[in-house]
Amino acid sequence: MKEQLPSLSLRLSRLVAQIYPDLDPDILSSLIIDAFWPEGTTRRKRGRVAGNNLWSEQDALVITYGNSIIDGAHRPLDLLNDFLRRYLKGALNAVHILPFFPYTSDDGFAVSDFRAVNPQLGDWPDIRRISEEFKLMSDLVLNHVSSQGSWFNAYLQGKHPYDKFFFEASPDDDLSEVVRPRTTPLLQKVETSRGPRHVWCTFSHDQIDLDFRNPEVLLEFLRIIRLHVDNGVEIIRLDAVAFLWKEVGSPSIHLPQTHAIIQLMRVLCDYAAEKIILLTETNVPKAENLSYFGKGQEAHAIYNFPLPPLILHAMMSGSVQYLRRWQRGMPPAPMGCAYLNFTASHDGIGMRPAEGLLPDDEKQRVIETVKDLGGLVSMRALPDGGESPYELNTTFFEAMSRTFHGSDDHHIARFICSQTIVMSLEGIPAFYIHSLLATPNDHEQVAYRGMNRGINRHRWDYPTLRALLDDPHTPQAQVLSGLSERLQIRKRQPAFHPNATQLTINIGDDRIFAVWRQSIDRRQSIFALHNVSDAQVTVQTSDINMIDDEHWADLLTGASFHPEDETVTLAPYQCLWISNGQ
């Protein structure tokens, strides 16, 4: 007899009891259901069963700000829509538009109104138009809000329910264990209608942390998720979610209540009529990051944060030693889950995920090379009062302009190789718009905005950009064309399904990063080989185990290979996708 799964109400009540043990779980569960499914919406009778059908080999994502492309005349969201349809359709099918709400700082991550689109970008109809042709990801900036927004102003005035929306602490509290990504003071003194208070600020004093011990905060964010979904959003990115739950005297990161809240959101998504994917953003070391899969019942997807620093090191050093060692130890994503693979985003290249994966001297070589290229380094505060490199600030394209040994003529080939690794691995590939557009470091933005991350947040003038893309001799045209061609090939290969089997191959030469992918139905195999060096490298075919009596060919060039051939030769920074076809 088939086992009866717990009902929606029962599953929610169990989680509510973990998060809010002092409240009536049945009453709060009912309020949660009403918040997520207001009148006029419907839900599934049974929750989705975890499977691999939420995504496919056709999925690939571009990450962009709503105003990464401007012209001074049209709404930036209209320009973005035009760019997506004109240049990316057929290569990528999904877009992450970074916070598109009114804000006061941090390029959108100090939200002042969660229910509106920033009028400088456009409006909700512009968002919906993009979602009609591309899968859309939005940001749920749920750890904090702007100090100048309506929620915090109502808190200062003691207005219900916002008077209990923000996390307060005392300067006398023991906060020595708190883990933070910034060096600014954790607490900020503010004057309220009830007298002076000290509010918790994980990121900056313009970003005031919310207090999820108050269930009204959770309910409000569930209503906000519903607003996003009703406007065409399919992927919800839980920004800075690791810091969600705070407790004085603890590290205030990865606490059990945080994981339980994600599990609660996952249950709601499983019962939603719409397809909703939860993606957690946790820029932390490997084991901590993997914990957000839970037992397959938390996030649908997590960022593969070790990839950027490890690929950066591999391309700069010409050795995949550390990248391969890490990849061999990575588990496949649980059923119903996937990795999001990337090398660059709107933030810098995080160095915390490299902890325990890259030796300190190798990390230092990467840092010094990035600085030699004009890149910057952002620091984080340590509990002992010291500082440690938190992220490298540079565009990934600029970082590929040289190796540990200096500059050469392989810049574009080296960069495309780095992005091809992202395409080859288990998971969903994602590309920052400035990687697709070969954008150099923007030091003017650093000076103008007064922050290191401005170096990686250039705003392209659309007529200028189109002229560059129309000229086949420019880096912009060569990179976008090269990556688009590979993405169009990739999307036709079942062996590149995000959950297709993967095995890391030890070629015996540290210059070659190699993985074997096999489609879920086991019909297609792809041996993905990547030469990360500036030298020609010969590989023994015995190392890649091509099956006899099948036709093997490189998907990228069409060149044929035979199991009886003794060797395969790769030019500097060449990639091969050797497949037995379909």
In what side-by-side order are the strands of the sheet with 512-518? 501-505, 512-518, 525-531, 575-579, 552-554, 560-561
Distance of CA 440 to the CA centre of its chain: 21
246: tokens are: 């705070």
Distance CA 273, CA 508 (A): 49
Give the phi and the psi of residue 438 in degrees, each rounded to 5: 50, 45
- Determine if residue 346 is labeled as part of a ligand binding site: yes
- Determine if residue 205 is labeled as part of a ligand binding site: no
Distance CA 166, CA 493 (A): 48
The secondary structure element, H or E, covering residue 460 is strand 460-461
34 is catalytic: no
- Determine if residue 223 is labeled as part of a ligand binding site: no
217: tokens are: 């905060």
CB 366 within 8 A of CB 309: yes
Distance CA 158, CA 165 (A): 10
Widest Cα–Cα separation across the chain:
81
Residue of 234, 285, 292, 283 lying closest to 96 (CA atoms): 234
CB atoms within 10 A of CB 382: 12
DSSP result, 234-252: EEEEETTGGGSS--TTS--
- Determine if residue 144 is labeled as part of a ligand binding site: yes
- Determine if residue 392 is labeled as part of a ligand binding site: no
Catalytic residue among 239, 270, 442, 510: 239
Distance CA 268, CA 272 (A): 6
242: CB partners within 8 A, 6+ apart: 253, 254, 258, 280, 282, 284, 288, 292
Pairing between β-strand 61-64 and β-strand 94-97 as defined by DSSP bridges: parallel
Query: What single-letter DSSP state applies at residue 330?
Result: P
The secondary structure element, H or E, covering residue 534 is none
324: tokens are: 């391969």
- Determine if residue 14 is labeled as part of a ligand binding site: no
Distance CA 65, CA 58 (A): 23
- Determine if residue 239 is labeled as part of a ligand binding site: yes
- C-alpha distances out from residue 143 to 294, 347, 432, Å: 20, 17, 23
CB 356 within 8 A of CB 312: no
492: CB partners within 8 A, 6+ apart: 57
- Determine if residue 453 is labeled as part of a ligand binding site: yes
Residue 119 preceded by cis peptide, ω within 30: no
Q: State the catalytic residues.
A: 239
Which residues are annotated as part of the binding site?
Answer: 106, 144, 237-239, 346-347, 453
Residues annotated in a binding site for substrate: 106, 144, 237-239, 346-347, 453
